[in-house]
Amino acid sequence: MDRAAVPALRFNPILPGNIIKPKAPIEAMLAVSEKAWVTEVELPEEIDPRLATSLKANLQGWMFLPRIVSGTAVSTRIKLPLKF
């Protein structure tokens, strides 16, 4: 049985008070371990560094049901559009 990784525990990002909400979605690339935790977060370089810091801290707290390949949990990478 195969299955893609699915968010199981997620938190809405808290934006720093002086940051304007982005109008367009921001695409994050997440590395998710076979144990279901986000181990790496990549964000576009052009976003405000304060926003990037906040988003990375938030996304690293997410937990996923891991990707399953042939019945075994494996690490994976996920593109995640973030809408505000």
The pTM for the full model equals 0.86
d(CA 56, CA 52): 6
Please compute the mean of the pLDDT values over residues 23-41 and round it to a whole number.
95
H or E segment to which residue 28 belongs = strand 26-32
More confident residue, 12 or 32: 32
d(CA 9, CA 66): 12
46, 36 Cβ separation under 8 angstroms? no
- Residue 67 has a pLDDT of 95
């893609």: which residue's tokens?
4
